[in-house]
Amino acid sequence: MKTIIEPFRIKSVEPIRITTVEERRELVRRAGYNLFSLHSDDVMIDLLTDSGTSAMSAAQWSGIMSGDESYAGSPSYYRFESAVRELMPFKHVIPTHQGRAAEKILFTIAAGQGMKVPSNTHFDTTRANVEMSGAEAVDLVIPEGKDPANEHPFKGNMDTDALDQLLKSERDRIPIVMLTITNNTGGGQPVSMENIRAVRTVCDRHAVPLFFDACRFAENAYFIKTREKGYAEKSVKEIVQELFSYADGMTMSAKKDALVNIGGWLALNDDTWAEQARNMLILTEGFPTYGGLAGRDLDAIAVGLREIVEEDYLRYRIASMQYLGKALTNMGVPIVKPVGGHAVYIDARSLLPHIPPLQYPGQSLAVGLYEEGGIRACEIGTVMFGRRPDGTEEPAALDLVRLAVPRRVYTQSHVDYVIECIENLYRRKDALPGYRIVEQPRFLRHFTARFEPIG
Ligand code: F0G
């Protein structure tokens, strides 16, 4: 069959409020042309993030009902722990309220002033938590990973020669090596098993622990199954188990590949670090058998982890992303290739060459998409990264717009609608205006800045 269906039926629905172009123009104007400032019920298709936006299954909702809210020793914790350890056999599993809480604890313990933490590419929160500890976050993705047009099948791979060099010269300053799977900042690109093994070998040579930032581990495993020699006949679960056998620990945002709306964990083998982590957890999150979560959340994660490695689900997930990417490519819209696991990234700077980077082509495209069809996407470009600490501006490396697809939420006709809106916008792309910022905070300006169109 060439039609890959959504492998689920819909039991409970959330209505989408249908708005008109005129209403949306007014709503986005009032929001200062910042899509983070919109009320989400004024959004028809929300592709702002795939994080915490999954639809839970009937089995997960049953888990919510049977969650046990005991302060200590809840059976929900033990169900959660055993579901995690079935895939990721780490000795200690420490629940947190989301991924960045696990990062904060890990880098407080492991990093610190004068240290360096290499990764393929750090996600913003990982980088920020490394830097908060006083350490430097170093990105060592392969050169292909920085070129949006390059079709390398594993663009998330780490440059192992560069890692080896860094460890040779500065081993004393490197307490830990990270690997983000899939590499979100690079476009949701996977890391190959071969590369993971090579990174492990380098880490062993220098006796450094290796941790995964593993938010989208199942999507990464499915890419290994379909793209890497020797894995076609293995189950996704087996691939996931092999993948984690090379790591000493992990941080996780369960809001992605655990199919829940909140949650995360830190898992690791080292007893000393685990003890320190639990002590910090008690200070900042909660008792070690619930972390920052309710018992019911732990049960929803336990069920989600069994569902995420189902191959029918992953086949549909990756196919729906490729369906969107292919339609945009056929239309002539430049995107980051190959299409990643959780999002399609449009290269707005190439699409809108009449808008200079300091007039924010990504913002223009994102606002245009909202006005056209009520679609909310996310600018990842000069608005997000272009402000230097001294307040001056420079163009970011790329001006992208991310269409991140929530898990199990939208159907193919929603995606067809997105494609049609982009088609309409494409026809009038030369008329899209540049923007100027009229109000902005000093840090993380993309969340709250106000804009106005130029001309
Ligand atoms: N690591 C990666 C690779 C992520 O993509 C995220 C979140 C985190 C860590 C932090 O997890 O949100 O649970 O604290 N990414 C979201 C996104 C926000 O939209 O890409 P968190």
pTM, 2 dp:
0.96
Distance 354 CA to ligand 1 centre (A): 32
Residues 40 and 92 in one domain: no
The answer to whether position 192 is within a domain reads yes
**Domain edge (last residue) among 248, 276, 307:** 307
Q: Is the pLDDT of residue 62 over 90?
A: yes
In a domain, 164, yes or no: yes
Residue type at position 195:
N
Ligand 1 contact via 264 beta carbon (within 6 Å): yes
The first and second tokens of residue 371, run together, are: 């006005």
Do residues 125 and 149 both lie within one domain?
yes
Question: Within a domain: residue 2?
Answer: no
Secondary structure of 273-337 in the HEC alphabet? HHHHHHHHHHHHCCCCCCCCCCHHHHHHHHHHHHHHCCHHHHHHHHHHHHHHHHHHHHHCCCECC
257-301 per-position pLDDT tens digit: 999 999 999 999 999 999 999 999 999 999 999 999 999 999 999
Phi first, then psi: give them for residue 138, nearest 5 degrees.
Answer: -115, 130
pLDDT level of residue 124 (50, 70, 90 thresholds): confident
Does residue 443 register a pLDDT over 90? Answer: no
pLDDT value, residue 444: 84
Q: Is 239 in contact with 311 (CB distance < 8 Å)?
A: no
Nearest CA among 270, 247, 140 for reference residue 200: 247
**SS3 category, 420:** helix
User: Is 133 within 8 Å of 298 (Cβ atoms)?
Assistant: no
- Residues 34-55: what's their mean pLDDT? 98
CA dist., res. 143 & res. 150, Å (int)? 10
Give the domain-ending residue among 253, 278, 307: 307
For residue 185, pLDDT beyond 90: no
Pocket test for ligand 1, best of 125, 211, 257, 262 (most atoms within 8 A of CB): 125
**Residue 455 pLDDT class (50, 70, 90 cuts):** confident
Out of 98, 100, 183, 265, mutate this one to test ligand 1's pocket (max ligand atoms within 8 Å of CB): namely 100
Identify whether residues 150 and 41 lie together within a single domain: no
133 C-beta neighbours (distance < 10 Å), count: 22
Residues 300 and 319 in one domain: no
CA 184 to ligand 1 center in whole angstroms = 8
Residue 241 — φ and ψ, nearest 5°?
-65, -40
Q: Does residue 38 lie within any of the structural domains?
A: yes
Q: Which domain holds residue 412?
A: 21-50+310-453
Separation CA 367–CA 425 (nearest Å): 11
10-20: pLDDT as tens digits: 999 999 999 99
Task: Decide if 37 is inside a domain.
Answer: yes
Tell me: do 151 and 273 sit in the same domain.
yes
DSSP 341-395: SSEEEEEHHHH-TTS-GGG-HHHHHHHHHHHHHSEE-EEESHHHH-B-TTS-B--
pLDDT > 80? residue 389: no
- Of 77, 111, 79, the closest CA to residue 94 belongs to 77
Tell me which residue has its CA closest to atom 2 in ligand 1.
123
Q: Which atom of ligand 1 is nearest to the CA of 263?
A: 13
pLDDT digits (tens, 9 = 90+) for 417-436: 999 999 999 999 999 999 99
Under 8 Å between Cβ of 280 and 108: yes
CA of 29 to the centre of ligand 1 (A): 28
Q: How many domains does the chain have?
A: 2
Alpha helical stretches, state H, 32-97: 58-66, 75-87
Distance CA 435, CA 455 (A): 9
Query: Which stretch of DSSP H or E encloses residue 118?
Result: strand 116-119
Span 68-108, pLDDT tens digits? 999 999 999 999 999 999 999 999 999 999 999 999 999 99
- Calculate mean pLDDT across residues 445-453: 96
> Residue 92 C-alpha to ligand 1 middle, in angstroms?
22
Which CATH number belongs to the domain containing residue 331 in this structure?
3.90.1150.10
Span from the CA of 123 to the centroid of ligand 1 (angstroms):
7
CA of 91 to the centre of ligand 1 (A): 24
Region 187-211: mean pLDDT is: 97
Indicate whether residue 182 lines ligand 1 (CB < 6 A): no
Q: How far apart are CA 167 and CA 158, in angstroms?
A: 14
> In the predicted model, what is the mean pLDDT of the chain?
96
In a domain, 1, yes or no: no
Confidence (pLDDT) at 422: 98
State in Å: Cα 186 to ligand 1 middle.
Answer: 13
Letter string b/e over residues 64-90, b meaning 16 or more CB atoms within 10 A of that residue's CB: beebbeeeeebebbebbbebbeebbeb
Whether residue 189 has its Cβ less than 6 Å from ligand 1: no
pLDDT-based confidence at 205, cuts 50/70/90?
Answer: very high
